[in-house]
Chain A
Amino acid sequence: MMTSIPTPLAQLKPGTRGRVARITRDLTGRAERLAALGVTPGASITVLQTFPGIVFECDQTELAVERAVARSIFVLAE
């Protein structure tokens, strides 16, 4: 099933796969740092874990992030 509305990564359940739709830009350079780790629009994502921290796989990189970061990553779930 393909939903057409991008959802923040923080709201996705473990096991969800999808593609990054966009990343909220702010003044802290969060989007830049994520981009440097390969989290850019179009990148494929799999949610691995949501508690105590959010862990996801982006391309071949496993990343752990805090909830605030996961809220700014919008994913088109597949």
Chain B
Amino acid sequence: MPCAMSPGDAIGARTPSLLRLRAHPLKIALVGNPNVGKSVVFGRLTGRYATVSNYPGTTVAITSGRALVGAEVCDVIDTPGVNALEGVLSEDERITKQLLVTGGAELVIQVADARNLRRALMLTSQIADTGLPMILVLNMSDEAHARGITIDIASLSDHLGIPVIEAVAPDGRGVAELREALPSARRARAADHARMSHADWADAGAKSFRKMSVVSRGRFQEWIGRAVRKPLTGLPILALVLYLTYLFVGVFGAQTLVGALEEGLFNGIINPAAIAAAARIPFPLIRDFLVGQYGVITMGLTYAIAIVLPVVTTFFLVFGFLEDSGYIPRLAIFSDRLFRSMGLNGKAVLPMILGLGCDTMATMTTRILGTPKERLIAITLLALGVPCSAQLATIMGILGGISVWALLLLFGVVLSQMVLVGFLAARALPGDRSDFILELPPIRLPRLRNLLTKTLIRVRWYLGEAVPLFLIGTALLFALDRVGALEQLTRVARPVVTGALGLPGESAEVFVMGFLRRDYGAAGLFRMAHDGSLSGVQSVVALTVMTLFVPCVANLLMIIKERGVRVGLAILAAVTVIALGTGSALNFALSILHVAF
């Protein structure tokens, strides 16, 4: 029986005996350097999916799940990657440290990249200092072998006094052995035992147990890895990636698929059928609520499913592919200088690009940044300028049909606002930025399975979270319209909307929706652009203002959770003022220059 353990095995009181009656499930923490595959091992042990990508910082919060080990249920906890448990730590590293020191973790599975034994041992030594029993999993051993690296597992295990397991977690190799080894977890004999520094001890360990033979480095992946980081090849590749993304998301998703769903499915079949069915309902109020101008089916469901869903899906596919390839962190090399002018460093490219998926999640990812000042600036920039996938959907849906120049103008204006605000914030706010030091993950061919799982989960999340909100928003708009409040609001907003922004009066209601979620507002603009009540220039101005607004209620709540109410409200106020100001200036400039799209 894998869980059985004879009393003679125990060394020290903290060694868990898995068969003893316990008041709560054994708490097992998965700990390791960033990007070594902790979330993959987590998925293999618990059967739950934690987002798996190929860059350091995918996991920034604790995820837990249940796993059956032998006959016993255990709590397995996936943690943010750590390079150290001592010294200067970033916010996500502190979360992991806290779990080990005071958070009740009883057993540690250290997941390591088999290639990087030296760094793994440096961490082993620090985990040993916590006194917790542990197991070392050398993951990605296939990649290590491909690089000519072999590790003497048996001797290493003897040296450390703990089980050491070779694994290729995505294929499930080594996972059964890991389950079997859990009862044999021990406190490791490490630097403290040898009276050495962590670094020296790890150095000595790597030298004695790792053999490296010289292998040719001509692999295709390494060639790509080189090409994407050199300016001469890297910048054209970046342009190509952006162009292909535009083709897939902006043309195929936002035009072909949206066209088929909106015109074919909704306007052709569902909406007429719904209207016909609703005609039998004797109450006009309910009829209007379902299929009227602000009806949940004719407006809400049509936007959510026909307009946003195809773009969100195509976007998440491309996005997942880029995440898993290891490409995104390499962009930090090119953007470091730009980000430094904004009080950040190249590392900030990660939350910024993640924001294109979802600004709320990206706000959490700012935990990987080094200082509070950097986090504040990055969170503000996310709220201000980075359009999330749902919003990209509506932007591309509207402007894709007008002209590519309109699209470029919008992104140009938004980007320059971000740089300007970042530049000013970097100088106005107290504090420092941290050094730019970033680990580049190996370039890998994404696994189709992970890509599809990840996309499916993200789409399901969109359907489960965004669609209900979308419907609530539609219902709210319907109610406001009924009680006459919409008219009042529109009248109040009219001077700004029609005057400074030069938009039709009815777009005021769109901005009301936009406060709830930017993309609903943008979806309203989509309808107006389609039925011809918005000109090309008006579309660009309206979308620019909408893009610069705070993304959604959820994002605002996340900002408040991460940085406090005061900061949250300050960001909201600043962003709203900047959005309206920029829109007015843009409208003024475009009308003076007689630009038309």
- Residue ranges of A at the interface with B (Cβ–Cβ < 8 Å): 28-30, 32-38, 40, 42-43, 48-49, 51-53, 55, 59-66, 68-69
Contacts and interface: CB of A to CB of B under 8 A. Distances in A.
B388 interface: no
> Which among B203, B229, B231, B437 has the highest number of chain A CB atoms within 10 Å?
B437
B346 interface: yes
A69 B436 contact: yes
Contact of B229 (A28, A40, A49, A61): A49
Interface string B327-346: 00110111011001000011
Nearest to A14: B230
B84 interface: yes
B68 interface: no
B436 A61 contact: no
A64 B440 contact: yes
Contacts of A51: 231
B164 to A, nearest CB: 18
B64 interface: no
B119 A52 contact: no
A61 B88 contact: no
Contacts of B307: none
B115 interface: yes
A34 B439 CA distance: 11
Contact of A62 (B84, B436, B439): B439
B230 A49 contact: yes
Interface string B83-95: 1100110000000
Nearest to B345: A66
B72 interface: no
A28 B337 CA distance: 20
3 shortest A-B CB distances, which residue pairs?
A: A29-B88, A36-B83, A36-B84
A36 B116 CA distance: 12
Contacts of B345: 66
B147 A69 contact: no
Q: How large is the interface on B (under 10, 10 to 19, 20 to 34, 35 or more residues)?
A: 35 or more
Contact of B340 (A37, A40, A42, A66): A66
B436 A66 contact: yes
A25 B292 CA distance: 69
A52 B88 contact: no
Given A29-B88, A64-B346, A37 B333 contact: no
Contact of A69 (B88, B203, B206, B435): B435
Contacts of A43: 118, 203
B589 interface: no
A62 to B, nearest CB: 4
Given A33-B88, A37-B83, A38-B122, A63 B439 contact: yes
Contact of A65 (B118, B149, B229, B437): B437
B475 interface: no
> Which among B116, B334, B340 has the highest number of chain A CB atoms within 10 Å?
B116
A33 B90 CA distance: 10
A4 B147 CA distance: 31
Contacts of B334: 52-53
B435 A68 contact: yes
A34 B438 CA distance: 10
> Which among B226, B231, B333 has the highest number of chain A CB atoms within 10 Å?
B333
Given A32-B88, A33-B87, A62-B440, 16 more contacts: A28-B434, A29-B88, A30-B435, A36-B84, A37-B437, A40-B203, A42-B203, A49-B333, A53-B333, A55-B229, A59-B119, A60-B149, A64-B329, A66-B340, A66-B345, A66-B437
Nearest to B437: A65
B480 interface: no
B199 A35 contact: yes
> Which among B84, B87, B119, B231 has the highest number of chain A CB atoms within 10 Å?
B119
22 contacts: A28-B432, A29-B88, A30-B435, A32-B84, A33-B88, A40-B199, A49-B230, A49-B333, A52-B334, A53-B332, A53-B436, A55-B333, A59-B206, A60-B116, A61-B439, A63-B437, A63-B439, A64-B333, A64-B436, A64-B437, A66-B437, A69-B436
A53 B336 contact: yes
B222 to A, nearest CB: 10
Nearest to B371: A28
B416 to A, nearest CB: 21
A52 B440 contact: no
A44 to B, nearest CB: 10
Contacts of A48: 226, 229
A50 B514 CA distance: 45
Contacts of B116: 38, 59-61
A46 B342 CA distance: 30
B118 A59 contact: yes
Contacts of B329: 64
